[in-house]
């Protein structure tokens, strides 16, 4: 029987970038494949909730795969926020972000190949951003017709802000931390909550890599420059707004939660007093 020798990559940064690439690939493969299935079947093989749930399962699976190597950021907005908070070195920001974008790009290519026949049948062979048979939204996000640029920017700031606000405290020992084994499940639930409540306006990208990687793929695969020029060059919104939203959510967490929690020494004294009171009540 053939035995494979372990070949651990020596450079920590390379290992971490490999993990971010693979994690984002898994996340996007689940999400875009579900979107393709729903779209090309005219919602006979899934509905609106299907894509939201698939992205959440993708987040959970990707985190279980890669959290022990890179922390499973899977999102430049998360990486940037962690850099601002001092949780991650600034030297990781660009390599992580590039790995995430490439992972999303490759995942889009795999989904395109898996659903190629369905895409061509549904679209009549015409790959477009507009119209009833458009297929670009399977991969990247696009705004609803009624939405202004300013409102869509605000939408993405709020969505990403909620993401960071809700996940930053999951491992905070001074508060009510989630069991480490269940952190990916809780993060997936947060993503699902955001998706089913804030995706009507412009798809709830809340992740620049999730949008840019697939958009670059559709540019290369035949949808053309329209994926960047449509809706008055709207593409920059899901790139910039999540970064702003991530920092905003992180600052909210610091101001309202982190700075207000008791210091470790104070927390230990409170625990000791509580134990003494409990013993007195028992006696």
Domains of the chain are 8-260 (1.20.1080.10)
What does 121-169 look like in DSSP terms, one character per residue?
Answer: HHHTT---SSSTT--GGGTS----TT--HHHHHHHHHHHHHHHHHHHTT
Q: pTM for this one?
A: 0.92
pLDDT, residue 246, reads 98
| Per-residue pLDDT, 263 | 86
Which tokens sit at 16?
Answer: 């971490």
pLDDT, residue 266, reads 66
**pLDDT tens digits along 84-109:** 999 999 999 999 999 999 999 999 99
Q: Are 231 and 143 in contact (CB under 8 A)?
A: yes
Question: pLDDT per residue over 188-229, tens digit each?
Answer: 999 999 999 999 999 999 999 999 999 999 999 999 999 999
- pLDDT on residue 269: 61
Q: What digits encode the pLDDT tens for the residues 123-150?
A: 999 999 999 999 999 999 999 999 999 9
pLDDT of residue 264: 76
At 234-283, the pLDDT tens digits run: 999 999 999 999 999 999 999 999 999 998 776 566 555 555 555 666 65
Exposure on the CB side of residue 123, measured as CA atoms within 13 A = 22
pLDDT confidence of residue 34 = 98
108: which 2 tokens?
């889009």
How confident is the prediction for the chain on average, in pLDDT? Answer: 94
Of 155, 100, 99, 121, nearest to 36 by C-alpha is 121
pLDDT on residue 272: 58
pLDDT value of residue 283: 59
Q: What is the CA radius of gyration of the chain?
A: 21
pLDDT tens digit sequence for 47-61: 999 999 999 999 999
21 pLDDT more than 60: yes
Q: Which pLDDT value is given to residue 9?
A: 93
Would you say residue 2 has pLDDT above 60? Answer: no
What mean pLDDT do residues 163-182 have?
A: 95
According to the model, what pLDDT value does residue 7 have?
A: 85
């Amino acid at each position: 029987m053939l035995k494979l020798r372990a070949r651990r990559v020596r450079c920590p940064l390379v290992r971490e970038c490999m993990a971010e690439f693979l994690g984002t690939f898994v996340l996007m493969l689940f999400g875009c494949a579900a979107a393709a299935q729903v779209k090309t079947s005219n919602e006979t093989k899934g509905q609106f909730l299907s894509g939201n749930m698939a992205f959440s399962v993708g987040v959970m699976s990707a985190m279980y795969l890669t959290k022990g190597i890179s922390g499973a950021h899977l999102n430049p907005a998360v990486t940037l926020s962690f850099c601002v908070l001092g949780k991650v070195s600034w030297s990781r920001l660009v390599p992580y972000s590039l790995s995430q974008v490439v992972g999303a790009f490759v995942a889009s290519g795999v989904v395109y190949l898996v659903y190629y026949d369905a895409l061509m049948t549904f679209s009549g062979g015409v790959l477009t951003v507009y119209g009833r048979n458009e297929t670009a939204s399977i991969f990247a996000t696009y705004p609803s017709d009624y939405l202004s640029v300013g409102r869509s920017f605000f939408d993405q700031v709020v969505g990403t802000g909620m993401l960071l606000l809700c996940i930053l405290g999951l491992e905070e020992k001074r508060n009510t931390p989630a069991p480490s084994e269940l952190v990916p499940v809780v993060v997936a639930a947060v993503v699902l909550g955001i998706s089913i409540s804030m995706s009507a306006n412009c798809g709830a990208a809340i992740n620049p890599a999730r949008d840019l990687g697939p958009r670059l793929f559709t540019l290369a695969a035949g949808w053309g420059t329209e994926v960047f020029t449509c809706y008055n060059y709207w593409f920059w919104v899901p790139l910039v707004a999540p970064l702003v939203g991530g920092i905003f959510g992180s600052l909210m967490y610091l101001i309202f939660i982190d700075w207000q929690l008791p210091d470790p020494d104070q927390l230990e004294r409170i625990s000791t007093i509580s134990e003494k009171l409990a013993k007195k009540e028992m006696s």
